[in-house]
């Protein structure tokens, strides 16, 4: 899935598959997650949110199943 860079302190990029209703998010720490059953309107609200990290934490994570694609990088 193609992701767009975000201006966010916690999120590096995000992409959306409208046919599958999947929001894919890459965190600055390298972790990539897909949030399932995210509607088009909800994705547009996420994109328009002044704090995308806050929106993800309060509106997406509590209500949508997620799957981890890659784990966060470990700090050395």
Tens-place pLDDT, residues 5-59: 999 999 999 999 999 999 999 999 999 999 999 999 999 999 999 999 999 999 9
User: Does a structural domain hold residue 34?
Assistant: yes
What is the tens place of the pLDDT at every residue in 25-39?
999 999 999 999 999
CA distances from 15 to 32, 34, 45, 49, 74 (A): 11, 9, 13, 15, 24
Split into its structural domains, the chain has a count of 1
For tokens 């949030």, name the residue.
35
Q: How many CB atoms lie within 10 A of CB 23?
A: 25
Q: Name 22's bridge partners.
A: 17
For tokens 């309060």, name the residue.
58
User: Does a structural domain hold residue 65?
Assistant: yes
Contact 27, 6 (CB under 8 A): no
Domain that holds residue 37: 4-70
Q: What is the pTM of this model?
A: 0.91
pLDDT classification of 74: cutoffs 50, 70, 90: low
User: Does a structural domain hold residue 51?
Assistant: yes
User: Does a structural domain hold residue 16?
Assistant: yes
């Amino acid at each position: 899935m193609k992701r767009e860079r975000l201006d966010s302190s916690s999120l590096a990029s995000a992409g959306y598959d409208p046919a599958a209703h999947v929001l894919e998010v890459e965190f600055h720490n390298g972790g990539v997650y897909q949030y399932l059953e995210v509607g088009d309107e909800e994705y547009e609200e996420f994109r328009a949110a002044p704090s995308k990290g806050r929106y993800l934490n309060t509106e997406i994570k509590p209500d949508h199943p997620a799957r981890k694609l890659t784990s966060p990088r470990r700090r050395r």
